[in-house]
Chain A
Amino acid sequence: MQAELGSHVDDGRVPVHYAYVARYSYSDVVVQNDNFLRLTAFTDERQTAESYDVFTNPAGRKVCYPDRLGNVVHRVRVIEPHETLVIAAFGRVSLEPRSPSVPDMPLFGMAYDRETDEFLTPTPLVDPATVEAAARDVTAGDDTLLAAVASVTDWVWKSVRYRRGNTSVTTTAAEVLSSLEGVCQDKTHLALGMLRSLGVPARYVSGLLTRQAGETHAWLEFQHPQLGWLPADPTKGIVIETGTNYLKFGVGRDYTEVPPVTGSFVSRGHGGLDVATARVFFDRESITFHDAIALIDQHLE
């Protein structure tokens, strides 16, 4: 069986610019705000990060390093007292559309690289054992890798109602299976668990939809014994998206390893995110943090 390919296939590289901005508000002065940002384009065979930076207001000191999975992390620590913190990230990426022919494989008994073992084991939000029965039901009759991935992706897309507000960053795959509702992150966790329970190494991807402004998006990648990591999006019911619709920030075993922003602050008050939005530009020559800041106003309009 030949894979169903993504709809958008281009030749050659497509240079794009991205901008992300988030604003955090607090009820009292914050004296220390220390955040890890995974908001920089990943480099792999489908995209190359050409330049990037992050910026905060108030400004802080920062370090940049690759984490153990290869995600570019910026850590920014702000000690100027503030009641509002703006975090912006921007950069230039060249997207490389591909239309690989993906050979199908028998689902069971595939030999994966030992390196991928950790993408089969339980993680804080995804315990494969808790969704295994559902995975068996959904893939009954599938005996190849691509058929199983397609069944899982399609089933999650159709069965889990997209609904905001009822789930959070701590919702587990098992909880999504029982409520059958959630956002892209929840759908991705459920699909990850189902694939892992079938013995298919799978990982969480965080990034942007290039043709839809808004918050960050989540999808997954499953391991193909010959071709490595291939994408699938259980929120949109797409297997192996290879066009220019996605821009990847980072990967993790689940959300907890690749949140766009995570950190801590010191204040007598409380507070948190009040707006986060992002956009990808296909027609820009350059980008600055002003473009990122402007997204807030556009978003609020």
Chain B
Amino acid sequence: MMLDSISLGSSVNECFEQDGSVRPVYKSLVDNLEALGVEEMQRRWRLAEQSATADAFTFRLDPREFRPVPTDWIPRIIPNDDWEVIARGVSQRLRALNAFILDLYCGDQTIVPPDVLFSCPYFNPQLQDFRPPRDVFVHIYGIDLVHMGNGRYVILEDNLRIPSGITYQMKCTEIGLRVMPELAAGYDIRPYDIRDAYREMFLSLCDTDSPTCVLLTDSKYGSAFFEHRFLSELLGVALVEGSDLYVGQDGRVFARAMDGDFPVDLIYRRVEDLDMFVPGLMDAYLNHKVVLVNAMGTGACDDKLVFLWVPDMIRQYLGEEPILAQALSYDLREAANRQHVLQNLDRMVIKARHGYGGLGVYIMPDLGATYRAGLARQIIEQPQGYIAQETLDFSRHVVFDRAGGRMEERYVDLRVFATQDGNGRVSVFPGGLTRVSQPASRVTNNSSGGSCKPSWVVT
């Protein structure tokens, strides 16, 4: 059996028990892979890659380079019972974060210390007392989880500004099933469809029955352009760049078109600095001339230090206990925490407060002593610039090394996406994007060279 060749590390493997036997939920999949055999798998892997290339399924780190998203086509399987807990936990967290941001800008929040929030570059004084349509700030939410085994998932990070990846899961699962339909034999996979939720969301946020919506991309050279194009086709909304939009005399936003410019009701923005792309857009937004998805101001909760207070937000705004645990994190501005972290640095993850895409994440057990000394110094010099988390020994999965024709073990995480519409309805899409680390690393972000896997929620 080709799967015998794999050597298991010490942490949980999603596919295998500690003694090397296949976990029950993976039995059919392993049988299906065995039935294909190594050579056929190599052929299908090539086919799948060609499909991804033909569909321009890319995440481009370098605009001069065209390459499909690196993908391992062995799916990750999440039993529906585990999924239901994740979905409830994500929904709860989204509602608490939205309540917090509303309180931050329109109320008098007392949960997070003011100097933490107001010094955050993503806090925007312009938004004080501004209420977005239907009081929804968080329309699209991406949350990074890791699996500790036995269905226990732990939160590493929240992404509320312009999280990308909601279509990657969709596309990579679709290509996988198209090229290797045999793998699904014996499984009932929950469908992953975001269209209705988006349509409902757009409608519920606008005053008109048939709103004109556009997707604003940073440019076709941006890293996530595949997703922008794909979403625009999927949702039937025009894809525009900053130069396609302008603010008219009446303060409304217009899009340029060959057959006459048309007014825009809603912008699904995939850019952060609006006024850089479309001068005057922020004013139009503040005057309720246009709806923005996500709303402005959500970035305050992307601050990795604000993360520490989310459990308190859940308790205060919802009166509930958090359903999902989050990674134990330290506020390094406190002398006692700083001392604890410096003494136990070799088992910590250090994160720059305002890093994203895996940049500014330092996993100490994977780094050398020189690196550790340098970071210790950074923490002493600028304690307000970092947070620390206990390193988690989260789950690994198997990936197929096509060239070598054998299996390898890699760390995986899970980015789950959820949306919230103007009627307060939250949709959490089954599965999410499983990201795979590079060898000997725990960082899984696509921006940092990670790859992805299809994810199935099975009933």
Contact = CB atoms under 8 A, between A and B. Distances in A.
A63 B275 contact: no
Given A63-B125, A79-B283, A122-B381, A73 B118 contact: yes
B126 A114 contact: no
Contacts of A294: none
A290 interface: no
B335 A118 contact: yes
B380 A266 contact: no
Given A32-B273, A61-B125, A77-B126, A66 B114 contact: yes
A135 to B, nearest CB: 19
Given A36-B119, A65-B118, A81-B279, A124 B125 contact: no
A275 interface: no
B134 interface: no
A60 B125 contact: yes
A18 B113 CA distance: 29
Nearest to A126: B381
Contact of A77 (B124, B380, B383): B124
Given A36-B119, A68-B333, A61 B276 contact: no
B125 A62 contact: yes
Contacts of A266: 273, 275-276
Contacts of A76: 125
A196 interface: no
Interface string A242-262: 000000000000000000000
A143 interface: no
B43 interface: no
Given A79-B275, A266-B275, A66 B119 contact: no
Interface in B362-378: 377
A122 B377 contact: yes
A50 interface: no
Interface string B223-264: 000000000000000000000000000000000000000000
Given A36-B119, A66-B114, A122-B380, A61 B126 contact: yes
Contacts of A118: 335, 383
Contacts of B124: 77
Interface string A2-42: 00000000000000000000000000000110101000000
A264 B119 CA distance: 13
A235 to B, nearest CB: 24
B11 interface: no
Interface string B112-138: 011100110101111010000000000
A56 to B, nearest CB: 12
Interface residues of A, number: 28
A76 B118 CA distance: 11
Contacts of A44: none
A236 B179 CA distance: 78
Contacts of B276: 31-32, 266
Nearest to B275: A31
A117 B125 contact: no
A65 B382 CA distance: 20
B125 A77 contact: yes
A84 interface: no
Contacts of B121: 34, 264
Interface in B79-115: 113-115
B391 interface: no
Contacts of A279: none
A48 interface: no
A75 interface: yes
B282 interface: yes
A117 B381 CA distance: 12
A193 to B, nearest CB: 13
A114 B276 CA distance: 46
A34 B282 CA distance: 14
B335 A115 contact: yes
A75 B275 contact: no
B292 to A, nearest CB: 15
Given A31-B276, A115-B335, A118-B335, A61 B128 contact: yes
B51 interface: no
A34 B119 CA distance: 11
B384 interface: yes
Given A62-B125, A65-B115, A77-B126, A114 B275 contact: no
Nearest to A124: B381
A123 B335 contact: no
A130 B115 CA distance: 32
A123 B381 contact: yes
Contact of A79 (B113, B282, B335): B282
Contacts of B381: 121-124
Interface in A109-164: 114-115, 117-118, 121-124
A293 to B, nearest CB: 22
Given A62-B125, A117-B335, A67 B115 contact: yes
29 contacts: A31-B276, A32-B273, A32-B275, A32-B276, A60-B125, A61-B125, A61-B128, A63-B128, A65-B118, A66-B114, A68-B113, A68-B115, A68-B333, A68-B384, A73-B118, A75-B118, A75-B125, A77-B126, A79-B126, A79-B282, A79-B283, A117-B335, A118-B383, A121-B380, A121-B381, A122-B380, A122-B381, A264-B121, A266-B275
Interface of B: 113-115, 118-119, 121, 123-126, 128, 273, 275-276, 279, 282-283, 333, 335, 377, 380-384
Given A62-B125, A75-B123, A79-B126, 4 more contacts: A31-B279, A36-B119, A77-B126, A121-B380
Interface of A: 31-32, 34, 36, 60-63, 65-68, 73, 75-77, 79, 81, 114-115, 117-118, 121-124, 264, 266
